[in-house]
Amino acid sequence: SQELEQSPQSLIVQEGKNLTINCTSSKTLYGLYWYKQKYGEGLIFLMMLQKGGEEKSHEKITAKLDEKKQQSSLHITASQPSHAGIYLCGADSGNSGYALNFGKGTSLLVTP
Amino acid sequence: GAGVSQTPSNKVTEKGKYVELRCDPISGHTALYWYRQSLGQGPEFLIYFQGTGAADDSGLPNDRFFAVRPEGSVSTLKIQRTERGDSAVYLCASSLSPGIGNTIYFGEGSWLTVV
């Protein structure tokens, strides 16, 4: 079965700093989803990447998909306290779009 | 509703009891998914419905777990003879249709605690 490894497991950054979270798959990636989860809440959809080399941005968050490396990265520019939470990557290895496998998440804390 | 709605938001039950968790997907979404998330872990797939039928139930841990979606909209996850290990957040999600390219929206989850 596909495994997704996220790094780092946790991150503490000062407000205004940039940061990157990585998600590496043990198998070919056909689609990669990024979600944010606030403590004790549901998952909030951020972005979905489908093609190798694809890059998407929303506000200060950019996600890229490197098909060859079977990896995706999530980059936050000029972090704010509102970015704090757990970032989860989810992927479907079989191009079916239903049984997503998720990484364990990266916990982000942004300090003033 | 505007988003995926789950009830109850919290449930505390005694070991051995029966529990039902309800999910109301986004209107018009044919695909519905149940996931379970334990502390410090990512969500784990349980079951997927396309319309009324369970297209894939390979993630259900054992026969104490069962889910239905009789009219192709609301779904109920049923857990019999609950055990302490069943304590987790149960997340429901829906998408317009299955397949890559369709955004999967999650609900807030139902926190289940078995004491």
Report helix, strand or coil for B56.
strand
Residue A27 CA, chain-centre distance (Å), reads 17
Closest-CA residue of chain B to A47: B103
- pLDDT at residue A12 greater than cutoff 60: yes
**A105 confidence band (pLDDT: 50, 70, 90):** very high
Q: Average pLDDT of B14-39?
A: 96
pLDDT for B94 equals 95
pLDDT digits (tens, 9 = 90+) for B44-95: 999 999 989 888 898 999 999 999 999 989 999 999 999 999 999 999 999 9
Nearest by CB to residue A43, choosing from B41, B99, B106, is: B106
- Across the interface, whether the CB atoms of B107 and A42 are under 8 A apart is answered yes
pLDDT for B42 equals 93
Percent of chain A with pLDDT over 90: 68
For residue A67 the two structure tokens come to 């098909």
- Across the interface, whether the CB atoms of B98 and A102 are under 8 A apart is answered no
pLDDT digits (tens, 9 = 90+) for A39-68: 777 899 999 998 777 899 989 999 999 988
Q: How far is CA B65 from CA A68, A72, B7, B46, in A?
A: 38, 34, 17, 9
